[in-house]
Amino acid sequence: MTGWLGLLRRLPPETAHRLAVRGVRLAPALHLPRSERLRARLGPLDLPHPLGLAAGFDKNGEAVDGLLRLGFSFVEIGTVTPRPQRGNRPPRLFRLPEDEAIVNRMGFNNAGMERVAAGLARRRRRGVVGVNIGINRDSRDPAADYRRVYERLAPLADYVALNVSSPNTPGLRDLQTASRLRPILGALAEAQAGLGASRPLFVKIAPDLGQTELEALVETAVACGVTGLIVGNTTISRPEGLRSPLSREPGGLSGRPLFALSTELLRRTARLARGRLCLVGCGGIFDGRDAYAKIRAGASVLQLFTALVYRGPRVIRTILEELEALLAGDGFARLEEAVGADLG
């Protein structure tokens, strides 16, 4: 590995991350060839292609325009909480280069909704930008806290993603149960009505959900008018075959080892949703074949993060070129024709 990416890899992971966010703000535009075959939709939002950036890279919305210049069709910032939060004690971010993976236990470290809102308000509205929202570690009323951050940030974003699936905030994943999720979604629906401006709402789910939990979550999301699901977050499991000794660090695992687990969850979710929800495929996408498998398993659009760390910005063009070739090879004139092709 050469150039700046190689230099960043020699630094401690969190230091490298901070420098990468700063550097991306100065990134030149990388023009991608336009392709009608790759046009996609994120709920009601039209996109030139399906590949976006997952939450976690730009937690405070500092580098949105630079990330869009790299070629992502949409960028999701966050997770943002009502109040600033330092997160868990370092070290809390670990590279697993032997596995092309990352383990993190960051704990929603971010500058808080007011600072993020100020930054979003200053930028010109161009490109599709979503905000991933969470709650502070000491929250006693999740529904009220999610509503606070939604009301502050939704008017400044193109969509909102509700994070109830990070493994690094104690008790957060319990909010995925239907009984806990329903009042949160109800509070956000009331907030949206009060704002008078509709924003697509997505729920980001854990790849470790059992079938019964998943069935209840899907039906709750449909009943509450959610636009779609992001499938999914990092995993607390450790798939067989991991080679790095750091794989045993506590936290959420992302990257290549997550691909099979997240794609199977996507397939199960798509079968349950039956076209009633827009599904975002996330987890382990490194090349065009990975992307194509997610599309055929039911994803309308895609997100990546860890591949950017290991492959650099060129991975965006590579994935899209390979994806277009695969679609053309199977006779699909438009990406949407391939969505869910493997579901039978």
**Radius of gyration of the CA atoms of the chain, in A:** 18
Q: How many residues does the structure list for the chain?
A: 344
Active site residues: 166
**Which residues in 282-304 are b (16+ Cβ under 10 Å) and which e?**
bbbbbebebbbbbbbbbbbbbbb
- Six-digit token string for 74: 């949409």
Distance CA 159, CA 74 (A): 10
**Which residues in 79-89 are b (16+ Cβ under 10 Å) and which e?**
bbbbbbbebbe
**Dihedral angle sign, alpha carbons of residues 309, 311, 312, 313:** negative
**Dihedral angle sign, alpha carbons of residues 248, 13, 288, 46:** positive
